[in-house]
A and B are shown apart, each in its own frame.
Chain A
Amino acid sequence: MPCRALALLLAAVLALLSPAPAAAQAPPAAAPASVLEAAKKEGKVVWYTSLALPSAEKVAKLFEAAYPGIKVEVNRTGSQRILQRVMQELQANIKNVDVIHTSDAGHFVLLKDKKLLARHVPAGVDVFPAGFKDKDGYYFGLRATLNVIAYNTQKVTAAEAPKTWKDLLDPKWKGKLVTAHPGYSGVISTHVLALVHLYGWEYFQQLAKNSVMLVQSAVDPSGVVASGERPVAVNGGEYTFYQARKKGNPVEIVYPKEGVPLVVSPSAIAAFAPHPNAARLFTDFSFTKDVQQVMADSEGLYSGHPEVKYPADKPKLGDLKLLAPDPEELEKRSEEIKKRFVEFFGA
């Protein structure tokens, strides 16, 4: 008996120490041997991603554990900066990026139009809903997040907390709000467009009167709210607030009943990718059910994969009223969104 207990304990310790969960150890069978061989020769894949840094590093480590010998170079920055980088590098004839992943679906409309994407349908992605798929097979939604309101429970009680987007316009929130920037984050530009549809630009004009603190990334408001620097976030990726709450921070999430922007973040392979095979392998891997499940479990993201199970403390997408702006419109109005936001908020 004690022997078995010891063995169990050892197994538990080993499981704790092992770098990646067992679920992701076995490489998916989808990749043909030739691709695997060529990818190993290429040795690495360069990933420009807007996924929160710790989450991105986690996905990268899972891949490296599954495919030893192929490194993932994570370059994490805001969606808009990623597009800027890609275009700026191309102008200087630099071919660096393999896989592009941002939270501004409009980017992929633009990149596809400019013939900068390689067509690649990740294995098993056919079961994803239409909102996650480009019909021509160039880009697919790697993950989704909601854009929500959040507040610090030590500074704001549940009763006084804002319940709707409109509640945030109340002058009692003056000096207490934080927003991320649509000129940096794709989650936020999607959010801005969705709310402009609901209430027009007037909404943001009024919101700006509450002297809102300005940060860059949609990841940042969760830290600002958790530290109490500003007690209420008027936007931000739901998964970042979820992670903060799970770590024990006094953060609570509000899903406004007027509708919650659903931000699907596509992933695509660059047409000029210097490591095309590793790029394919990495893309296939990141769309597998196992990896999608990891993103839903530990990172708090939503997935297009119908079999992915969500933690019990997350709302079901079906229970929320979702707002999903059209990527084409997002692409067309991107300049307007940035310009007007700067006009209202100052920088």
Chain B
Amino acid sequence: MAPRDSGPRGLDRALPVWIGTALALVVLMGLPLGWLAHMSVSGESGYTLARYRDVFADPALQKALWNTVVLSFWVGVASVAVGAPLAWLTARTDVPGRGLIRGLVLASFVTPPFLGAFAWVMLAGPNAGYLNRLWRAVTGVEAPLVNIFTMPGLIFVVTIYTFPYVYIMVANTLALIASDMEEAGAILGAGRLWVALTITFPMVLPALVSGFILSVLQALALFGSPAILALPAGFHTITTQIWSLFQFPPKVEMAAAFSVPLLLATIVLLWLQKRLLGRRGYAAVGGKGGRRRVIPLGPWRYPALGACLVVMAAAIFLPYGILAKAAFSKAWAQPLTWDNLTLGNFAFTFFQYSATRDAVVNTLELGLLTATVGAGLVALLAYIASRRLVFGYQVVAFLALVPVVIPGVVLAVALFIAYTRPPFVLYGTLWILFIAYLTKEMPVGYAQSDATFRGIPPDLEDAGRILGAGRLRVLGDITGPLARSGVIAAWCFIFIGVIRELSASIILFTPNTKVMSVVLFDLKEEGQFGAIAVLGLLMLALTFATVTLVQAVLGHDVLGARD
């Protein structure tokens, strides 16, 4: 493709806009990361690696590192084990209720993992947990069936909200593979299973590995679920350990040094993923055209549906059910009888607890502001990069995607260091949260916008420009309207990301800048399950309202490709 717009053919009067946006991005990313690096190697007299030595020599921190490795690895494995078959079933077979399953995967995708963790404490606490009480009542066996306050318990809870990453990658890949080769295999006499193993599986392998890596990254960066499930069991992960380093007297330098391994692990994993996807050389993948034949499951239809519903029960039905029950009961562990029924939790949460209102207002303000500014910013950035409007546009694309490698806790440590000192003292205001959210949610918005602009051929813009319109005018009148639904999708992703954000907020909030997730976390420390349930359901309602609204505008679901 000829670089149509790279030459200074006539002066682009909008050039300051492009350059300003790009520079803002450089500052946004450079400032916190620079401070983080600086802090991790600064000692009383000059630079030192002592912090790193302290970090790696401390047995408690070593344990936290190891726990994180165990957690993320098994979450990756389990997410593939759950997500891939589910994707295959819904994309390729005649399992009944495919639309329903897809909808439920979406619900699991947008459920804040820490809410799921709260719910599973009530479901699978070894003694009071509902499932264990049921088990005891049915079998009479005293020992609990499941104990959620263990490493396997934690892996389980993280997995049921992480497998959608594998599902999306695999389902979208399957949707792009025509059935021709599979049919050829079948004609040559291979059985269904053999076809699946030798033909379909190799083609989706890159998607599987990619989904595995994404799941590992999710588990690596998660703060809420380990804080809720690992701390009562007496163990730390990297994220909870970094957070506890902020307790008085705060050891910010230690936190900075401990953040760097997490950052490096994320970078390495993403680099791996890129290499794997970059080598995707199968001519059969990625083509449109070609039909996808539905594989009849025969007698296995209903067992397959049953298996899907078991997964959904774990991720959606049971947790949402117990949250709803806790919201309406005086004592969550007692049966829901007339005696135990109350609206008191709602009254307390909304009318007596003075933090709720401010937190809801703060959250919505930040959500709307970040989503709106963010969607605008990523659209501009994607436009700049895809139309090569400034020198170094590749750097722009790179920087917009960089935050993906920064876990929330690490980002928070970096922002805390950067914005508690001149020239920008933002700690204590909503602005520091705004910057955190904007930075953290930028990659997902950028990826969406980038795909959008790549899908709009520049010819129309050229036509507009030949007729004498400037770039900004063309952007507003021609490209903008065409990019509308893509920008709306980016807005939606950012908004949902913001209202559930916990891992950065928990370090950056101050009492007058509390957000909903932080209030939920406060309530958890006091064991106020009724109020947690009420506020959690409100958060879920906000999320689903947004998703539904945006899907209505987009005309398809936000999980992506669908055949």
Contact = CB atoms under 8 A, between A and B. Distances in A.
Contacts, number: 130
Interface in A215-230: 215-217, 219-220, 222-224, 226-230
B127 A83 contact: no
A215 B528 CA distance: 12
Contacts of A229: 125-129, 333
A94 B125 CA distance: 40
A184 B333 contact: no
A198 interface: no
Contact of B60 (A75, A81, A230, A342): A342
A97 B428 CA distance: 12
Contacts of B127: 155, 228-231
A84 interface: yes
B527 interface: yes
Contacts of B60: 342-343
B334 to A, nearest CB: 8
B511 A73 contact: yes
B440 interface: no
A87 interface: yes
B236 to A, nearest CB: 5
Interface string B233-253: 111100010001011111000
A217 B126 CA distance: 20
Nearest to B247: A84
Contact of A345 (B234, B333, B427, B527): B234
A48 interface: yes
B354 A74 contact: yes
Report the contact-size class of chain A (Cβ under 8 Å from the partner).
35 or more
B250 A84 contact: yes
B527 A215 contact: yes
A61 B427 contact: no
Given A53-B528, A57-B354, A96-B428, A87 B249 contact: yes
B511 A85 contact: yes
A182 B428 CA distance: 27
A92 B354 contact: no
Contacts of B129: 229
Given A213-B149, A229-B128, A219 B247 contact: no
Contacts of A223: 527-529
Nearest to A221: B527
A60 interface: yes
Contact of A85 (B125, B230, B510): B510
B420 interface: yes
Nearest to A222: B527
A212 B231 CA distance: 11
B169 to A, nearest CB: 34
Interface in B450-500: none
Interface string A176-201: 00000001100000000000000000
The 8 closest A-B pairs by CB, nearest first: A346-B234, A227-B333, A84-B248, A223-B527, A220-B527, A229-B128, A94-B428, A75-B511
Interface of B: 60, 125-129, 149, 230-236, 240, 244, 246-250, 330-333, 348, 352-355, 420, 425, 427-428, 510-512, 522-523, 525-529
20 contacts: A53-B526, A54-B348, A71-B354, A74-B354, A77-B522, A88-B248, A92-B425, A97-B511, A184-B525, A213-B232, A217-B527, A222-B527, A223-B528, A224-B527, A227-B125, A227-B332, A229-B129, A230-B127, A249-B331, A347-B234
Given A54-B352, A57-B352, A347-B234, 12 more contacts: A77-B522, A87-B250, A96-B510, A213-B232, A213-B233, A219-B526, A220-B527, A229-B129, A247-B330, A338-B247, A346-B235, A347-B240
